[in-house]
């Protein structure tokens, strides 16, 4: 059942530090996701993937610094979820995103488009003066080559991480 839900409702657009709760009781560490207010279907009721066309009604939804490039145009996808997760991973590990202090959604979108044309430059800027983790370059290389409707290879992504 869980994998079926994951295949219908993208959740990574929800992932940010504020939406993760940790429970360290019993010697383990369980992580709970909260706040599913922006969860949406990427398939229609017949099981077909949405076309990825722009939809201004849903453009720039969510937390601006983590919104995917697809999310900036109102077209939600699994690729966009993975991009959002990537921004979180960069922010959590470097403490920085170049557009973090920008409040204009179009400017943030333009910055993301520019930086993801050269992933190495993006990561160098975020991790400066330290060296960025190579796994993040591999991750973003993979995510950026995905087509809008492509089903991500989740096993491959797990191996990266």
Instruction: Print pLDDT tens along the chain (161 aa).
Output: 333 333 433 444 446 667 777 777 777 677 776 665 555 655 566 665 556 666 565 555 667 788 888 888 877 788 888 998 899 899 989 999 999 999 999 999 999 999 999 999 999 999 999 999 999 999 999 999 999 888 899 999 999 88
Nearest alpha-carbon partner for 84 in 39, 22, 49: 39
Cis omega (within 30 of 0) for bond into 48: no
How far apart (Å, rounded) are the C-alpha atoms in residues 39 and 37? Answer: 6
pLDDT at res. 110: 95
pLDDT at res. 64: 78
Nearest alpha-carbon partner for 73 in 99, 51, 47: 51
pLDDT at res. 142: 97
pTM here is: 0.76
CB of 53 closer than 8 Å to CB of 70: no
Which residues pair with residue 33 across a beta bridge? 20
pLDDT at res. 8: 37
CB of 63 closer than 8 Å to CB of 72: no
């Amino acid at each position: 059942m869980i994998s079926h839900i994951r295949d219908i409702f993208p959740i990574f657009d929800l992932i940010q530090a504020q939406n993760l709760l940790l429970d360290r009781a019993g010697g383990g560490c369980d992580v709970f996701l909260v706040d599913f207010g922006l969860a949406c279907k990427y398939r229609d009721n017949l099981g077909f993937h949405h076309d990825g066309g722009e939809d201004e009604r849903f453009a720039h939804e969510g937390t601006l610094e983590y919104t995917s490039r697809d999310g900036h145009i109102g077209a939600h996808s699994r690729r966009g979820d993975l991009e959002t997760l990537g921004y979180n991973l960069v922010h959590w590990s470097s403490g920085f995103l170049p557009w973090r202090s920008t409040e204009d959604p179009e400017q943030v979108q333009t910055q993301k488009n520019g930086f993801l044309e050269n992933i190495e430059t993006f990561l160098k800027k975020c991790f400066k003066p330290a060296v960025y983790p190579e796994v993040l370059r591999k991750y973003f290389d993979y995510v950026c080559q995905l087509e809008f409707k492509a089903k991500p290879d989740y096993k491959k992504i797990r191996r990266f991480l």
